[in-house]
Structure 1
Amino acid sequence: MSSLTDYAKNVLARAVCGRSPVLPSAVYLALGTGGSDPTGISGEPVGNGYARQRVTFTGTGVQQNAEAVRFTFTAAAGTYSHVGLFDAASSGNALTWASLSAPVAISGPGTVTINPGGLTMTGD
């Protein structure tokens, strides 16, 4: 996930210039149908048990999710091709986004799991 949103680019620019940006105290992963630098992901699911999931990262350069991330659905919810990080469990600011290695179709109740180390953040 190296595609930063415009919001995240501005936070980093303030940090590099010594302007004390407000950093998120936690980050949340979301699913979506698309993505762009200005807005992060688009097409985030609504309902059917979906909720953004808190993610904890670890690493000394490249950051990786320390634990499995699980999105649980109670019913069919469509097909999703992107993930994005936000600074809040709902609403908030989009920070970064990326395409999934393969789209995931939610055709009924079930869980989408991203295994530990399956989500990486780089500074590129």
Structure 2
Amino acid sequence: MAALSDYLENALIAHLFRNTNYTRPANIYVALYTAAPNDAGGGTEVSGGSYARQAVATGASSGWDAESGGATANTATVTFPTATANWGTVTHVGLFDAVTGGNLLMHGALSASQAVNNGNIFRFNAGDLDIALQ
């Protein structure tokens, strides 16, 4: 996953240089997109057909590997509900601080787009959500 959102960039700058606290969310919510978001948000998040963002816990013993070399990855499979309608072709992923609404934290393109049709289940296997800060 390549890009921090403007929201997270500003929150981290304020935290480091302006003595403004940033409270990390208890969960990171994984979102799917059929059109690319950008640092300001936007894009087209999947909706309908039983779609819902999926939670991955944060914290020392959480759903993420220990940080190493400025990177981490999910430690368990992230499985979305069975699609009850066509979701379209998923091209991007976003990480949010809330199950609905909230703030986009990071976003990136999938290594391969995937069509999600009625009856399909979309998942990220452990290690598929690679987060690297460079």
Secondary structure of the residue aligned to 1:16 is helix
By how many angstroms is 1:52 displaced? 0.2
Number of the residue aligned with 1:74: 84
Distance between the aligned counterparts of 2:14 and 2:25, measured in 1? 14
Higher strand share: 1
* Root-mean-square deviation (Å): 1.3
4+ long deviations beyond 4 Å? none
1:27-66: CA deviations, max 9, x gaps? 1000002121111x62111110100001221222211101
Amino acid at match of 2:2: S
Q: Does 1:57 align with 2:58?
A: no
By how many angstroms is 1:113 displaced? 1.1
By how many angstroms is 1:87 displaced? 0.0
Tell me if the contact between 1:68 and 1:115 (Cα under 8 Å) persists in the aligned partners.
yes
Tell me if the contact between 1:77 and 1:107 (Cα under 8 Å) persists in the aligned partners.
yes
By how many angstroms is 1:23 displaced? 2.2
Number of the residue aligned with 2:31: 30
Number of the residue aligned with 1:5: 5
Q: Does 1:19 align with 2:29?
A: no
Secondary structure of the residue aligned to 2:73 is strand
Secondary structure of the residue aligned to 1:35 is coil
The more displaced of 97-106 and 14-23 is: 14-23
Secondary structure of the residue aligned to 1:29 is strand
Tell me if the contact between 1:11 and 1:22 (Cα under 8 Å) persists in the aligned partners.
no
Distance between the aligned counterparts of 1:81 and 1:66, measured in 2? 22
* Structure 1 gap ranges (5+): none
Number of the residue aligned with 2:105: 95
Amino acid at match of 1:36: N
Distance between the aligned counterparts of 2:30 and 2:64, measured in 1? 11
By how many angstroms is 1:108 displaced? 1.9
